Amino acid sequence: MCSGVYGCTKEGYTRKGRIVFLRPKLYTAYMKLIFQFGSQPELSRAELLSRFPNLAHGRVIATRFYSVNCDESPEWLLQQLGGVVKILEVVEGISQKPDEMIVHLADHILKQTIEKPKVVFGVSIINAPEFKGAGLAIKRSIQELSERSVRFVVSRDPELSSATVQLEGLLAPRGVELTFLKDSSQIIVAQTAAIQAFDEWSFRDYGRPGRDAKRGMLPPKLAKIMINLALGIAEPEKMAVYDPFCGSGTVLTEAALLGFGRVFGSDILKQAVDDSKESLVWAKKQFGLDDTEFDVFKHDASQSAQHVKPASIDFVASEPFLGRPLKKGEQLSPLEKQQLVSLYNKTIRALDGVIKPGGRLVFSFPFQVAPRELLPLHEIIADTNFTVDPLLPEQKTILYMRADQRTGRQIVRLVRK
């Protein structure tokens, strides 16, 4: 397993090389895993099932959790995804009787940390307030079972963050985090097996030189999610991805880190092209992206791309111009909205010549948060060779928004006929 941002092992690479783990061998037996989604659980689930449709037999618990049997490495899985913050492994065979459960979990923690002189553990409580005192009860039980010193990590919140888990060393064999999760009348207890590298995300977001918040910023996690929605089960090393509104290069960088063989980007603004190139040079140095072919050029996305060969692009992932920034209480005028619809329609038609048959486009289109108003998708794809490809069986598109945002993002996936 990679050791954060400071080094690497034979299974993967961090800043000294590509951040993608080499895919390990499958486990000999299935594990019952629980994927913990971030702040956009529907979008995170769509990403997971797009990349790994073999996991579609799982089920949602308490909105943000997805339970499924799996034989893949949790560490490797987490490295592939942008919307999953933790992967937990269910502790099997525990009693539902509270007293017996506490003793069982104390023994489990002792075995997981057997190589360490001090036992360090933490507890997260999800939708199960009756287990608020479980952490202290487990600590007392450990003290009765062992002479080793014990430290119970506490937090003001009932749920420990990924940052707390990493900083406090709550991954085996250094320590343990247990999550109590109520599923109907049953209590599931799971141990955290892998966490999202929050420091890596922060470094990629704020550390790159081409970042320009004034022009709007696509969050790197959302960029990775969009790329995965386009990629599906394909092997990125053999694929080409294109961002016709590349801005400061967020999509291009995340695509390269996922292992895409060819990455193309363009923007109508020369400054954006320069920023993207600078970000890619930085990423190449930081992450060793020598195997990825880059091509970034100045281009109007509504016109046919002369720099790109016909039918040479497998996927597009892009956040186009979302309209001017809005002040509090302000809305885009009907004319401004129609201009955006026209831009998006022309862009999709222009992409028709460079996208392979069956190729997918993933865009984030703006929508008005309050009162909620979406752009007419049927007009955006009118007279094109693309149709909407539903992100989930029950949902064609997914809305992404943060607190206090005036403009949200509608995530849309299109497939070429």
Burial class (CB in 10 A: 0-12, 13-18, 19+), 281: middle
Beta bridge partners of 315: 241, 360
pTM of this structure: 0.92
pLDDT band at 87 (very low <50, low <70, confident <90, very high): very high
CATH 1.10.3470 fits 31-72+84-195, yes or no: no
pLDDT at 145: 96
pLDDT at 29: 64
Q: What is the mean pLDDT of residues 393-410?
A: 92
How far does Cα 159 stand from its chain's mean position?
A: 20
Structure tokens at 393: 């069986």
Nearest CA among 124, 274, 115 for reference residue 195: 124
pLDDT at 27 over 60: no
pLDDT at 17: 40
pLDDT at 361 over 80: yes
Q: What is the mean pLDDT of residues 79-101?
A: 93
Residue with tokens 């993608």: 20
Considering the domain delimited by 210-416, tell me its CATH architecture. 3-Layer(aba) Sandwich (3.40)
Q: What is the mean pLDDT of residues 217-232?
A: 95
pLDDT at 173 over 50: yes
Task: Give the span between the Cα atoms of 339 and 335, in whole angstroms.
Answer: 6
pLDDT at 304: 86
- Mean pLDDT, the chain, integer: 90
Task: Give the span between the Cα atoms of 239 and 146, in whole angstroms.
Answer: 54
pLDDT at 162 over 70: yes
Dump pLDDT digits (tens) for 242-275: 999 999 999 999 999 999 999 999 999 999 999 9
Residue 175 has, within 13 A of its CA and on its CB side, a CA count of 20
Q: What is the mean pLDDT of residues 331-359?
A: 96
Q: Is the dihedral of CA 75, 81, 85, 91 positive or negative?
A: negative
Residue boundaries of the structural domains of the chain: 31-72+84-195, 210-416
How far does Cα 101 stand from its chain's mean position?
A: 33
Lowest-pLDDT choice from 54-58, 301-305, 338-342: 301-305
Could you tell me which residues come within 8 angstroms of residue 313 by beta carbon, excluding any fewer than 6 positions away? 240, 241, 242, 264, 351, 354, 355, 356, 359
Task: Give the span between the Cα atoms of 412 and 397, in whole angstroms.
Answer: 5
Q: Position 154: which residue type? A: V
CB burial of 207-235 (b: ≥16 within 10 Å; e: otherwise) equals ebebbeeeeebbbbbbbbbbbbbbbeeee
